[in-house]
A = this chain, B = another copy of it.
Amino acid sequence: MKPYREMSKDELAQQKAELTKQFEDAKAMGLKLDMSRGKPTSAQLDMTMGLMDVLNSDSDMMSMDGVDTRNYGLMDGIIEAKHLMADVMSVPAENVIVYGNSSLSIMYDSISRSMTHGVMGSTPWCKLDQVKFLCPVPGYDRHFAITEHFGIEMILIPMTPEGPDMDLVEKYVNEDPAVKGIWCVPKYSNPQGISYSDETVRRFAALKPAAKDFRIYWDNAYAIHHLYEDKQDQILEILSECEKAGNPDMVYEFCSTSKITFSGSGMAAMASSPANLADVKKALTLQTIGHDKVNQLRHTRYFKNVEGMMTHMKKHADILRPKFEAVLSVLDKELGGLGIGEWTRPLGGYFISFDAMEGCAKAIVGKCKEAGVVLTGAGATFPYGKDPKDSNIRIAPTFPTSEDMAKATDIFVLCVKLVSVEKLLQA
């Protein structure tokens, strides 16, 4: 079929009639499918059930260096958990604090602490007239929700296939002292699945921030979440790059096992410079007497080391890959060459990003809903929920079955076509 834009009004009208008929038929099927949830599917969770056998009433509950994991203390985690999470991030264990079950809460906490206490002695942000964050878009809605909650002004930075537009990042960071941070998902980004190029990471490390308390919020959520064995993205390790560039304290890095073991019952970690960690611990020592060390012990004994974790993640990939491919195959077949949408082909992570024609995203999500297919709300990938082009849609293939994903994508492409035709007819 020829590109929609090259069709005459008559051709478009004919298309619209056909598509409308198909859409009515689809609605009549009464489907109930969900492409919105970026969470593991039951089969992935089932595969981790061995974690529940690691500890029993006869277990030695001491950490490698003799700490009773059952009792209070050890705010920054047991030594073997530090090593494991350090290896996930490819940093030294002494740069790591192991927390509880959620990296999101570490990020929230980092911003909250900066609001009330500043960063390494800087003025608390709540005392400043203006605090700004850079937000590469499309991005992760929960990041943006945190900065919005604290009244931080968010500046949109377009993503490129290499990562955020670094010309813009450098301009803002190096010139505006109100810019205190940037949200990054450097590997298999949410939602595009883009991994930052070496050039991008090096330009990050070489920033000369106008604000001393500027930090890069490096959410390495998908560090080992590959879909393929033979095609994998790798990114440069940011902490050492920053150190080399003379900016040792510029990064807070985050990761978790939420999409490795159980989503609410894993462990999360932060990696940063010794000076940053000392600053963090000043507050942390008042916040808790320690995180869940028994669960840290459970995780480290289960995986033994990061290689054990990687092997486990290959099994996840075997479950997830067909779902991604099911979506991509329908998109390719049905929308290829029509010029009404573009989509990413990630090698890892949890999402596929779809860009519709401008002004069509909301209408597509709405149409899908009419036909029983739930998508992430249009705009969710932008600060304040507002996509200026009303174009981006996040597809989350992980939770439903491959068959359901294929069915849902059939509906999705139908809605993309229908909405695009209507848009072109209005033009």
- A residues with a Cβ closer than 8 A to B are 39-40, 42, 45, 48-50, 52-53, 55-59, 61, 68-74, 100-102, 104-105, 108-109, 112-113, 115-117, 124, 126-127, 142, 145-146, 149-150, 258, 262-265, 283, 286-295
Whether A264 and B289, one on each chain, are in contact in the complex, defined by CB atoms closer than 8 angstroms, is: yes
Q: Which of B149, B264, B293 contacts A286 (CB 8 A)?
A: B149
Q: Output the least CB separation between A48 and chain B (Å).
A: 8
A217 to chain B, nearest CB (A): 14
Given A52-B55, A126-B127, A258-B72; A265-B287 close (CB under 8 Å): no
Q: A404 to B39, alpha carbons, bound, how many Å?
A: 52
- Copies in the assembly, this chain: 2
In the complex, the chain B residue whose C-beta lies closest to that of A42 is B68
A56 touches B52 (CB 8 A): yes
- Contact of B146 with A286 in the complex, beta carbons under 8 Å: yes
Shortest A375–chain B CB gap in Å is: 18
Contact A71 B262 (CB under 8 A): yes
Q: Which of B49, B127, B149, B292 contacts A57 (CB 8 A)?
A: B49
Q: Is B292's CB under 8 angstroms from A264's CB?
A: yes
Contact of A116 among B39, B59, B104, B116 (CB under 8 A): B116
Question: Nearest residue in B to A266 (C-beta to C-beta)?
Answer: B292
* Min distance, Cβ A93 to any Cβ of chain B, angstroms: 20
User: Known contacts being A69-B264, A70-B265, A292-B292, is A286 close to B108, with CB within 8 Å?
Assistant: yes
Pair A264/B101 contact, Cβ less than 8 Å: no
List 12 A-B pairs, Cβ < 8 Å. Answer: A39-B71, A42-B71, A49-B57, A49-B59, A50-B57, A52-B56, A72-B258, A72-B264, A115-B116, A115-B126, A117-B149, A126-B127
Closest 8 CB pairs of A and B: A265-B294, A49-B57, A70-B262, A126-B126, A72-B263, A45-B70, A264-B290, A108-B287
Q: Given that A127-B126, A286-B149 are known contacts, is A265 also in contact with B69, CB under 8 Å in the complex?
A: yes
